[in-house]
Amino acid sequence: MQLIVVIFHSQIQLLQLLDKIKKFDRKISIENVDDEWVLKNLKIFGRHYLDIKSFHYNALKATHLYSTIYSIGGLILGISSLIAMFGYNASKGPALVTFFGYISVLYGLTAVVQEYEDTQKHLSRALYDLRWYLWDAKSQNFHLLLMGQMAEELKIPILFVIYADFELFKKFIRITYTAANCLVTFRRKNH
């Protein structure tokens, strides 16, 4: 799926930036560096993050239609297999395999997105933990701007307003369990 490739690419870029920030932190803790060098590196981090953010939004825009069609098709497939499992004259084998295949694809997508969001949180934390209080006012101000930029999470939408994360997976499992219980109860009452 194209969306997962986009997420992996963005995550690798975030990990590279995280590594740069950690190396920067180690260097300023060991060596005495001048304020111009600090500001120059903060600007490099900011530029790198804006490049990542730009790629993220442009790639999601390019793959959004495909992801939406894929998600709607998967949702229809999941619902129809659920109805086939618990409906009248149910053929449970193929429907069960189809349903668990859909669940595993959804879990794979949400796991990848959760890793991506965790990487973003690690990046924000690394930036927050820098020894900014030792810098001059200009570097401190730029650091605050950078923290504000990185505090905004880069979300992955799959159905316009629905975001792929573990909360989506949990909600889907809850709804599926409730729907299956309703179908089983309805089936028992009508037999």
Q: Return d(Cα 131, Cα 20) in angstroms, integer.
A: 15
pLDDT-derived band at 22 (thresholds 50, 70, 90) equals: very high
| 138-179 pLDDT, tens digit each | 999 999 888 888 887 777 777 667 777 777 778 877 887 787
Domain containing residue 174: CATH number = 1.20.58
The answer, yes or no, to whether residue 102 has pLDDT greater than 90, is: no
What are the helix (H) ranges across the chain?
2-30, 35-86, 92-128, 137-151, 166-189
* Residue 48: predicted pLDDT: 94
* Residue 40: predicted pLDDT: 93
Closest by alpha carbon to 45, among 23, 22, 19, 17?
Answer: 17
Please state, rounded to an integer, the average pLDDT across all residues of the chain: 81
pLDDT-derived band at 1 (thresholds 50, 70, 90) equals: low
* Residue 88: predicted pLDDT: 60
| 52-86 pLDDT, tens digit each | 988 888 887 777 676 777 777 777 777 777 677 66
The answer, yes or no, to whether residue 104 has pLDDT greater than 70, is: yes
* Residue 80: predicted pLDDT: 73
* Residue 41: predicted pLDDT: 92
pLDDT-derived band at 24 (thresholds 50, 70, 90) equals: very high
Token pair listed for 157:
């939408």
* Residue 51: predicted pLDDT: 92
Give how many domains the chain has, as a whole number: 1
* Residue 34: predicted pLDDT: 86
* Residue 31: predicted pLDDT: 83
For the four alpha carbons of 170, 175, 181 and 184, in that order, the dihedral sign comes to negative
114: domain range? Answer: 2-189
The answer, yes or no, to whether residue 93 has pLDDT greater than 70, is: no
Q: Return d(Cα 58, Cα 52) in angstroms, integer.
A: 10
* Residue 172: predicted pLDDT: 78
The answer, yes or no, to whether residue 23 has pLDDT greater than 90, is: yes
Identify which has the larger pLDDT, 33 or 88. Answer: 33
